[in-house]
Amino acid sequence: MLNGFSAQLTSRQADELARTPGVVSLTRNVASHPTATTAARTDATAGALNPPTPPGSWG
């Protein structure tokens, strides 16, 4: 079971909340982009996952 809530806090508010009895932890919200690549590629294999469609085909 997970008990929690989300809130926008200043650093001072977060520090105070973290010292409150009964508070186990605070976690900063982090955006996650699981389908994004980790680095831009500029070499000849950059399009390896999506090769160009050969001429004359409807791909």
pLDDT digits (tens, 9 = 90+) for 15-35: 999 999 999 999 888 777 777
Rounded to whole angstroms, the Cα distance separating 15 from 22 reads: 14
CA dist 18 to 26, 28, 30, 39, Å? 7, 12, 18, 35
31-59 pLDDT per residue, tens: 777 776 666 555 555 555 555 555 554 44
Res 56: pLDDT: 52
Res 57: pLDDT: 42
pTM of the model as a whole: 0.46
- Looking at per-residue confidence, does 13 or 55 come out higher? 13
53, 59 contact by CB (below 8 A): yes
Rounded to whole angstroms, the Cα distance separating 35 from 56 reads: 31
Res 6: pLDDT: 86
Rounded to whole angstroms, the Cα distance separating 25 from 45 reads: 44
